[in-house]
Amino acid sequence: MSSASFTKSSLVNIQTKSALASQSLIYHKKDLIRANVTLDSGIHLLEQLPPDSQPSESVLDVIYNCCKGQDTPPYDESIIPFKYVINAEPIALTETDSEDDEQCHLVEVTYALPFKDKERDLRISKVKLEIENKNDLPPSIPKFILSSAYNNSITRPSVLVLINPHGGKGQAKSIYKKEILPVLQAAKVKITYVETQFHGHATQVARDLDVDLYDIIVCCSGDGIPHEVINGFYSRPDKGVLAFNKVAVTQLPCGSGNALSLSTHGTGNASVATFQMLKAHRAKMDLMAVTQGTGPTKTTKLSFLSQCYGVIADSDIGTEHLRWMGPIRFEIGVAQKVFFGATYPCDLYVKYKIDNKAEIINHVNDYLTNQSSDGKNLPEVTEENLRVLGPDLSQPVPQDWTRIPDHLAHNLNILYVGNMPYVSADAQFFPAALPSDGAMDMILTDSTSSAFKTASILMAVEKGTHIDDERVHHSKVSSYRLIPNVRDHGRHFISIDGENFPFEAFQVEVLPGVLTGLLQDGNFVETSVTK
């Protein structure tokens, strides 16, 4: 073949490919929406979104709105705020384009439709954009959008999903598949999935974990798996120093108790909680060291949520055999104990940090005013931070501890000590709790009040106003020791993070700022005290 014929044939081929590429570009540009990206607020659409680009409301949404007497909250469809952006990546329109093109101004954005009600399922949409003001932006527009969307958060984190398949009345796997996984996949999260096989399995996983592989451990469960993970870290040779510094521990609601998710992500809806988790900041949170036994039988476990003794513990752990009834089992247990005037005498010693309700409010306000967390440069945890400093249970308490008077301790019906505001969706038991103030919130009530008055206190827990009642003793403490004086030990319980612990003396102290968690702007969700 002559060079002339070769050149002519090549030219025909080149022209044909060029025409096809142009046709492909014209075809795909029909799907593009012109937009401008601002440096601070979000993506401004210069054209109206096509009707089929927005996910329609489900039948359940319509029923939900009718029952609550409201419509879907209106929002401005001409802007996609950065805070709702889940993912952004370049679009390759032709075979010759690269999806990794740093200069690409054609971007596909995945985002959550704005929402106000955190208990409704998250709705996710996608839109393909042609960015008009590309010359005003950094070279990589998708990376800029992502960095703005995840300001101070982790973009496309590597997560270890630990799921209790028996959680949530056996619905945990279904909740994960239908509500959690789609959000994680939309955000291009790197997922390692593990189902726990037995009680304590998550402890083993956390103890043996290569922490360099993960940014977050996501506990798709109730409160049991986070408790196991934290104690798995603590059982490592270095007491968990490396793990507590490197890996954030969080929860997505898949169980009957979802206190960590409610307190940090503000919802019991798994899809919304997943979105909130992705947008949250790394922040330091206090843990509590719970010690029982002396000498060779001495054990110390970590608690992230609460310890309880009395009516609450017996109504929780004591009704485990009725778990099939759902949350009502607990309410029935409480009603029974309160009606019959159950009393749980004990000896109680406390090291107070604040023992005045007005001062507690001032403390909370000062903390919120002065505290700030951008998720970066968090203080390093050392072995010293994990050292338990309290005396042995066989030794007397220090002189700066206070013995609770017998008229209260010997008539006690509720002792509840916690580190997070919500213990369940309808129980704001510790509304003054703070992530890292070096204190536990202690709530005490006694049986000298009538059953009606005690019931009225418990009914106020939903709104967090029970702490205002003069019959409720509310304080912030750094350490305490409780010695049960109940006669029939076999019928009563001590609950630590919802787990059944031996019914014997125990001592607790705060370990400040040990756990790395994920918080909205560095704080717990709003409560009756913090709003």
User: What local confidence, expressed as pLDDT, does residue 321 receive?
Assistant: 52
Q: pLDDT, tens digit, for every residue of 383-398?
A: 999 999 999 999 999 9
Q: Does residue 449 register a pLDDT over 60?
A: yes
Active site residue 31: no
Where does residue 210 rank: exposed (0-12), middle (13-18), buried (19+ CB within 10 A)?
Answer: exposed
Phi/psi zone of residue 466: left (φ > 0), alpha (ψ -120 to 50 degrees), beta? alpha
* Cα Dmax for the chain: 111
Distances (CA, A) of 340 to 143, 250, 311, 334, 337: 63, 39, 11, 10, 5
Residue 354 burial (CB count, 10 A): 21
* DSSP calls for 81-132: EGGGEEEEEE---STTS-TT-TT--EEEEEEEPP-S-TTSPP-EEEEEEEET
Higher pLDDT, 51 or 330: 51
- φ/ψ of 297, rounded to 5, equals -95, 5
Q: Does residue 25 register a pLDDT over 60?
A: no
The per-residue pLDDT of the chain, averaged, comes to 87
**Cα dihedral sign, 438-508-480-320:** positive
User: What local confidence, expressed as pLDDT, does residue 95 receive?
Assistant: 56
User: What local confidence, expressed as pLDDT, does residue 15 receive?
Assistant: 43
Place of tokens 């934290």: 230
Window from 4-18, 19-33, 248-262 with minimum mean pLDDT? 4-18
Q: Does residue 70 register a pLDDT over 60?
A: no
User: What local confidence, expressed as pLDDT, does residue 382 receive?
Assistant: 95
With bands split at pLDDT 50, 70 and 90, how would you rate the model's confidence at 12? very low
Between CA 514 and CA 110 the distance in angstroms is 35
The pLDDT of 286-310, averaged and rounded, is 97
The pLDDT of 305-329, averaged and rounded, is 75
Q: pLDDT, tens digit, for every residue of 217-275?
A: 999 999 999 999 999 999 999 999 999 999 999 999 998 889 999 999 999 999 999 99
User: What local confidence, expressed as pLDDT, does residue 63 receive?
Assistant: 47
CB 216 within 8 A of CB 247: yes
Q: Does residue 325 register a pLDDT over 70?
A: no
To the question of pTM greater than 0.85 for the whole model, the response is yes
User: What local confidence, expressed as pLDDT, does residue 101 receive?
Assistant: 52
CB 293 within 8 A of CB 299: yes
β-strand pairing of 216-221 with 248-253: parallel
* 55 DSSP assignment: P
Window from 2-11, 102-111, 182-191, 460-469 with minimum mean pLDDT? 2-11
User: What local confidence, expressed as pLDDT, does residue 170 receive?
Assistant: 85
Distances (CA, A) of 472 to 233, 355, 357: 36, 12, 10
* 420 DSSP assignment: S
- φ/ψ of 520, rounded to 5, equals -80, 110
The pLDDT of 317-333, averaged and rounded, is 60
CB 433 within 8 A of CB 519: no
The pLDDT of 135-145, averaged and rounded, is 93
User: What local confidence, expressed as pLDDT, does residue 256 receive?
Assistant: 80
The pLDDT of 101-114, averaged and rounded, is 85
Which residues are registered as beta bridge partners of 124?
112
Higher pLDDT, 102 or 119: 119
The pLDDT of 276-301, averaged and rounded, is 96
Higher pLDDT, 263 or 102: 263
| Alpha helix ranges (H) inside 35-88 | 59-68
User: What local confidence, expressed as pLDDT, does residue 423 receive?
Assistant: 94
Window from 4-18, 59-73, 200-214, 401-415 with minimum mean pLDDT? 4-18
Distances (CA, A) of 112 to 85, 86, 252: 6, 7, 18
The pLDDT of 482-489, averaged and rounded, is 88
The pLDDT of 390-408, averaged and rounded, is 97
Between CA 154 and CA 15 the distance in angstroms is 46
The pLDDT of 411-433, averaged and rounded, is 95
Higher pLDDT, 88 or 321: 88
Between CA 442 and CA 433 the distance in angstroms is 10
* Dihedral (Cα; 399, 401, 407, 409), 10-degree rounding: -130
Higher pLDDT, 15 or 34: 34
User: What local confidence, expressed as pLDDT, does residue 24 receive?
Assistant: 41
With bands split at pLDDT 50, 70 and 90, how would you rate the model's confidence at 328? low
Q: pLDDT, tens digit, for every residue of 151-177?
A: 889 999 999 999 999 877 789 999 999
Residue 153 burial (CB count, 10 A): 17
Highest mean pLDDT (candidates 53-57, 76-80, 465-469, 486-490): 465-469
Catalytic residue selected from 223, 437, 441, 446: 223
Distances (CA, A) of 191 to 89, 153, 218, 501: 19, 17, 10, 33
- CATH ID of 287-514, from 3.40.640.10, 2.60.200.40, 2.60.40.1120, 3.90.1150.10: 2.60.200.40
CB 482 within 8 A of CB 415: yes
- Residue 462's closest CA among 414, 418, 425, 413? 425
User: What local confidence, expressed as pLDDT, does residue 367 receive?
Assistant: 95
With bands split at pLDDT 50, 70 and 90, how would you rate the model's confidence at 372? confident
Q: Does residue 326 register a pLDDT over 90?
A: no
CATH architecture designation of domain 158-279: 3-Layer(aba) Sandwich (3.40)
